[in-house]
Amino acid sequence: MIKAYLNKNHIILKTSKGKVFQFAAGTAITDMLDDSPYAQFPKGKTKAAALLEQFYAAQDLSIPEQMALFAGIGFSVVIEESDGKAVPVITVKSAEELCALELITLMKSRKPLKRCEHCGEYFFPQGRSDAVYCDRIGADGFSCKKIGAHRQYRKNSRTNDVKAMYDKMTKHNRYLKNSGKISERDYDRWMASVSESYAAYKNGDISERTLMTRLSETLSPAGRSARRDISDYLL
Ligand SMILES: [Zn+2]
């Protein structure tokens, strides 16, 4: 038998042998690993896992259907004295009840259920509710959160490199235009083209290579450019 004490969204479990587990609701449930509180119930972990699966699937169910998930679960609560206060203590008799306790606590604290963008598994964010990666450790020894952070960092630094190139090329061509080395008309046309391309790149519509090709276009030197577009005659 395990006693459970609730403190906001944290659950404190005390086994009859005096072992204590303390965790945020939604963290023990995620993997039900061997060193988790679920290991205290060697039998019946399957039932808990089944309840968890149903809960994941229940996100699209109506409220009565969601309520039906917990229909068979009834906790017994006793009052204990702790530091001169009367505190409610829940008796947890099975892994399934522990799972239900975690889920109910999560529902109460309105923690959203998310699907990790790296491993695709469900998780309950413990910090920011807009978190997109879970804390599971993959075969490579890194957590999804760590891999995600690294990927984002690489993406950002890549984006910064492109931005630096864009700034450098626009500055360079503006200098050429201001010093009369290229025509204002060519510069304006190029500028309109690259700013549109840069927006398209940021939007993911064109590749980095396409943007770079457009950025590095050599503009014709002023004076020597006798080439006139057909549109010049139409204007
Ligand atoms: Zn993950």
Distance from Cα 137 to the centre of ligand 1, integer Å: 8
Query: How many H helices and E strands in the chain?
Result: 7, 7
3-state secondary structure of 221: strand
- Per-residue pLDDT, averaged over 216-228, amounts to 68
Per-range mean pLDDT, top range of 87-91, 157-161, 205-209: 87-91
- Within a 13 Å sphere around the CA of 185, how many CA atoms are in the beta-carbon half? 11
For the chain, what is the mean pLDDT?
Answer: 84
CA distance 123 to 38: 17
CA distance 124 to 161: 34
182, β-bridge pairs: 221
Distance from Cα 135 to the centre of ligand 1, integer Å: 6
- Per-residue pLDDT, averaged over 143-167, amounts to 86
% residues pLDDT > 70 (the chain):
92
Q: Which residue has the tokens 């009840």?
A: 97
What pLDDT, in 10s, does the model give residues 170-204?
999 999 999 988 999 999 999 999 999 998 888 77
What pLDDT, in 10s, does the model give residues 7-22?
888 999 999 888 999 9
Distance from Cα 25 to the centre of ligand 1, integer Å: 17
